[in-house]
């Protein structure tokens, strides 16, 4: 997919210059200034999360709201650059001599993406489940961009993504433009966007939908994604007693004790309550994921996390798998572990790691022979 990077203009809103001596009067100089701002799509003002912003020798990535912040910036002249795949960009010279706020607008030739045209989810929705299904037809979400050649529904859509709390998930689009994808959500507030790439590599990003999940916390959440369409990579989690060892179960035992996977999506023997038993709440069989396990209230024990390349449908297709483990989700003690590995062939297994509860520690338990 082609990449073009460009910055059309920057609007600088100058903040107050904060000076003074800590703890009393005096003229102690400020050690550095703060440069904050946001990266937005030109013409719509939609925030662009995941954009790379460089100020001098410092680099940051915009968050789920498209916001960046540089602190302790010494006075001087800098090049400010914002880049995002599918958008046009160019550097601008910035004179920093006070605290500053900058809104960076990136131009694109892609159609405008109207996420509010989705029929099954609305801005401000309150949900009691930590997932939601996005479905519709991409051509019903696109409209002509002002100043760009007339929009034609025959345009080829090269890629559709959803961005959830700043994390990107690929969505498969059928030949007629239809799509349907379950995506995981976090406890509390969530942001959801759509991003479309046309066949020329131009990107369009929607406004943000904000939804709230009423679950107070999720003790353990595991999310698997992979990078090849038409393949099936599976997520497995075991709760093993010390005498059992860290063993990947044989295929014939995939509904065995304390094992959650596609063949045993809702086991009842991890804990004594419904909340203490995990569920495979999203099962993706057509490639890219996500596939997710949710455990709301984890009983004490060790939770061994494995990935199995179930099927490449007879082809030797490598697939890079990515795992994101969140412990104590929805709390101030939340911790995230991320791993990735390229699986070379179907039926390959990958031991990712073990989460010990209730401490939430990541430990490595060598797999038993």
> Does residue 133 surpass a pLDDT of 50?
yes
Which residue did the predictor score with more confidence, 10 or 324? 324
Residue 220 CA: distances (Å) to CA of 186, 276, 283, 337, 357: 11, 10, 17, 11, 9
Last residue within a domain, chosen from 78, 106, 134: 106
Which pLDDT score is estimated for 93? 85
Mean pLDDT over 290-297 rounds to 97
Where is pLDDT greater, at 254 or 318? 318
pLDDT at 30 (0 to 100): 52
Number of domains within the chain: 3
Does 244 lie in the same domain as 208? no
pLDDT for residue 199: 85
3-state class of 296 per DSSP? coil
- What is the average per-residue pLDDT within 329-334? 94
Q: Tell me what pLDDT residue 147 has.
A: 59
What's the average model confidence in pLDDT over 87-104?
90
- Choosing from 88, 106, 124, the residue where a domain stops is 106
For the purposes of burial, counting CB atoms within 10 Å of the CB of 56, is it exposed (0-12), middle (13-18) or buried (19 or more)?
Answer: middle
* 84-88, 130-134, 147-151: range with lowest mean pLDDT: 147-151
pTM of the full structure: 0.86
Position 134 scores a pLDDT of 94
pLDDT for residue 280 is more than 70: yes
Which pLDDT score is estimated for 128? Answer: 94
Give the pLDDT of residue 368.
81
- Position 4 scores a pLDDT of 39
Q: What angle do CA 240, 284, 142 make, to 5 degrees?
A: 145
Taking only the tens place, the pLDDT of each residue in 26-68 is: 443 457 999 999 999 999 999 999 999 999 889 999 999 999 9
What is residue 14's predicted lDDT score, i.e. its pLDDT? 33
Q: What is the pLDDT of residue 224?
A: 98
Question: Confidence band (pLDDT; 50, 70, 90) for 316?
Answer: confident
Ranking 2-16, 175-189, 196-210 by mean pLDDT, the lowest is: 2-16
294 part of a folded domain: yes
Residue 133 within any structural domain of the chain: yes
Looking at the structure, do residues 117 and 168 belong to the same domain, yes or no?
Answer: yes
Structure tokens, 100: 């500053």
**What's 92's domain CATH number?**
2.60.40.10
State whether 122 and 65 are in the same domain.
no
Residues 261 and 346 in one domain: yes
Task: Find out whether 271 and 213 touch, Cβ atoms under 8 Å.
Answer: no
Q: How sure is the predictor about 21, in pLDDT bands with cuts at 50, 70 and 90?
A: very low
Mean pLDDT across the chain, nearest whole number?
88
**Per-residue tokens: 137:** 């037809």
Q: Band of the pLDDT at 19, cuts 50, 70, 90?
A: very low
Evaluate the CA torsion angle 245, 251, 254, 256 in order and state its sign. negative
- Could you tell me if residue 182 is inside a domain? yes
Residue 369 lies in a domain: no
Average pLDDT over residues 290-304: 97
* Whether residue 354 is found in the same domain as residue 290: yes
Domain membership flag for residue 3: no
- Choosing from 71, 106, 141, the residue where a domain stops is 106
- Determine the structural domain holding residue 290 and report its residue range: 218-363
């Amino acid at each position: 997919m082609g990449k073009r990077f460009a910055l059309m203009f920057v609007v600088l809103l100058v903040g107050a210059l904060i000076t003074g001596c800590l703890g009393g009067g005096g003229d102690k100089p400020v050690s550095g200034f703060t440069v904050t701002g946001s990266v937005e799509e030109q013409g719509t003002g939609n925030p662009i999360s995941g954009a790379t912003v460089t100020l001098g020798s410092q680099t940051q990535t915009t968050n789920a709201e498209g916001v960046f912040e540089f602190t302790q910036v010494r006075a001087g002249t800098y090049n400010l650059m914002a880049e995002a795949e599918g958008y046009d960009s160019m550097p601008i010279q910035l004179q920093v001599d006070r605290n500053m706020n900058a809104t960076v607008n990136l131009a694109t030739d892609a159609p405008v993406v109207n996420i509010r045209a989705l029929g099954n989810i609305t801005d401000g929705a309150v949900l009691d489940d930590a997932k939601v299904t996005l479905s519709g037809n991409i051509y019903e979400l696109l409209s002509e961009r002002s100043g760009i050649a007339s929009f034609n529904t025959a345009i080829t859509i090269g890629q559709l993504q959803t961005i959830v709390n700043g994390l990107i998930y690929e969505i498969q689009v059928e030949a007629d433009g239809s799509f349907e994808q379950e995506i995981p959500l976090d406890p509390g507030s969530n942001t959801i966007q759509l991003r479309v790439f046309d066949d020329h590599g131009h990107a369009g990003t929607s406004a943000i939908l904000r939804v709230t999940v009423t679950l107070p916390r999720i003790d353990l959440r595991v999310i698997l994604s992979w990078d090849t369409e038409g393949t099936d990579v599976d997520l497995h989690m075991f709760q093993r007693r010390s005498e059992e060892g860290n063993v990947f179960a044989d295929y014939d035992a995939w509904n065995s004790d304390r094992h959650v996977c596609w063949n045993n999506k809702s086991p009842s023997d991890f804990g004594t309550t419904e909340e203490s038993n995990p569920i495979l709440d999203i099962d993706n069989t057509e490639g890219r994921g996500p596939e997710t396990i949710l455990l709301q209230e984890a009983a004490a024990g060790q939770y061994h996390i494995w990935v199995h390349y179930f099927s490449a449908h007879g082809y030797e297709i490598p697939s890079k798998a990515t795992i994101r483990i969140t412990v104590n989700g929805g709390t101030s003690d939340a911790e995230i572990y991320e791993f990735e590995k390229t699986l070379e062939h179907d039926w390959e297994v990958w031991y990712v790691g073990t989460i010990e509860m209730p401490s939430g520690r990541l430990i490595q338990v060598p797999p038993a022979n």
